[in-house]
Amino acid sequence: MIKKNELMDLNIGRQVKGKWDISVSDNFNKVSRKHAIINYKENKLFITDLDSSNGTYVNGKRIVHKEVFLSDAVSLGGVDVEGTYKIDLQAIKNDFDKIMETERIDFTSEFEYLKKVYIDYKHQVELLKKKQQLKKQIPKIMGTVVIGIVMLVIILLGLIPQEFQKFQYPVMLIVMSGVGLLSFKGGNQDLADLLTDLEIDFQEKYKCPKCKKKYNINATHWKKLASKGSCTNNCGAQFI
């Protein structure tokens, strides 16, 4: 099983039999039975010639060991000669990525991300609950404000001239209606709906980095995963 950043390699030749090795057809007779080895570590590719008869070439130059890039032209047994073999570096990198995906077991760094997702989720849940609790208090606060404003209006209307006092009741009605509407303006979304939306958002991130199966973010505490030290789905991922 592969750990993150562990050195991986594959052999290339006419008689190599490893699971991930590249077996070259005998038609490429310039290629030795075990011609070269390609190493991959930390997203870098290296090729080493294994004392082959006809050599390994990078951009037309014979090499013994060299870091190679996807843009390089790499061939075994010669350059543009019949019987030589051109290496597809992109295909090899894809093979290494596949090895990493299927064989790797160390997912410690990704587990730290899962821990952060869980903690962030719980923090957002608490903030949401406090926010909704505060919104519940607004009607009570506004009710107190309404009573205060009405009392103030009554006092002020008692001070106006007699000829204008006939307008005091319509004015009071308008003021009470306006303040009452403000207290209920933009009704609150149900807390359960908000929590469900939040759960869906974070649930997409709270999953095993190897098998991609989701953990129940409300039932599986990150400490449970840490205690087990591996994926609860038994895919082989380890959180060391």
Alpha helices in 68-107 (DSSP H): 89-103
- For the chain, first and last CA: distance in Å? 14
- What CATH number matches the domain at 8-103, 2.60.200.20, 3.30.70.260, 2.40.440.10, 3.30.70.100? 2.60.200.20
* 235 CA to centre of own chain: 19
Residue 207: closest CA among 111, 139, 141: 111
CB atoms within 10 A of CB 31: 27
Whose tokens are 């406090």? That residue is: 130
Quote the pTM value.
0.51
Domain boundaries, the chain: 8-103, 108-228
Sign of the torsion angle spanned by Cα atoms 200, 206, 210, 211:
negative
pLDDT tens-digit profile, the chain (240 residues): 444 444 578 999 999 988 889 999 999 999 999 999 999 888 899 999 999 999 999 999 999 999 999 999 999 999 988 999 999 999 999 888 887 777 778 888 889 999 999 999 999 999 999 888 887 777 677 767 766 666 666 666 566 566 555 555 665 666 566 655 555 554 456 888 899 999 999 999 999 988 889 999 999 999 999 999 999 998 888 886
Residues 212 and 231 sit within 8 Å (Cβ to Cβ): no
